[in-house]
Amino acid sequence: MTQKSLSKWLKGIILGIIVCGIIIYGFLIPMFGKDLAVENPEFAHCYYPWLVMLWISAIPCCLGLYHGWKITVEIAGDNSFSYENARHLKHICMLALADSAYFFVSNLAFLFLNMSHPAVLLASLFVDFAGVVVAVMAAALSHLVLKAAKIQQENQLTI
C-alpha cells in the first residue's frame, strides 16, 4: 500500500467518523433526549443541560479529527515520521484526556444535582475508559513517531 493510498483510506475513515458524529450529535441524541423527556416528564428540565453538555463534549472530538486529518496530509506527502505528526498525536492524546475528564466530571455533577441516575454514571465510565484508551494509544504512537523522526533525521545527516 502506498503512502497516498493509505492517506486516502485514512481520510475516508475520518470523513466517515465526521458523518457519524453529525448524525449522532445532531439528530439521534436530540431525538432520543426529547423522547425521554416526553416519557419521563419529571426529567424534562434536564434535557437542555444534558444536550449542551454532550455537544460540548463533541468539541474535543472534532479537534482530534482535525489533527488526524493533518496527520493524513503529512502521510500523503511521504512524511509519516515527522516531529509534526508526533505533535499532532500528542494533541490528540491531550484532547482525549480532557474530554474524558470533562465527561466524567459533568456526569458526576449532574448526579449530585439530581439530574442523572447512578446507572448513567456507571455506564458513562465505559465512554471515559474508551477516551483514556485513545489517549494512551495516541501518546504511545506520538512517542514512537518522535523516536522514528529522530532516527530518520540522524540518517539524513550521515553520508
Q: What is the mean pLDDT of residues 8-17?
A: 96
Identify the pLDDT of residue 159. 61
Phi, psi of 74 (to 5 degrees): -65, -40
Q: What is the mean pLDDT of residues 65-87?
A: 94
Following DSSP, what letter does each residue of 66-125 receive, concatenated? HHHHHHHHHHHTT--S-HHHHHHHHHHHHHHHHHHHHHHHHHHHHHHTTSS-HHHHHHHH
Q: Whose grid coordinates read 550521515?
A: 158
Q: What are 64's three cell numbers?
A: 482530534
SS3 39: helix
CB 72 within 8 A of CB 7: yes
pTM (two decimals): 0.90
What is the Cα–Cα distance from 122 to 17, expressed in whole angstroms? 25
Instruction: Tally the C-alpha atoms within 13 A of residue 61's C-alpha that lie toward its C-beta.
Output: 22
Identify the pLDDT of residue 1. 78
Tens of pLDDT, residues 126-155 = 999 999 999 999 999 999 999 999 999 888
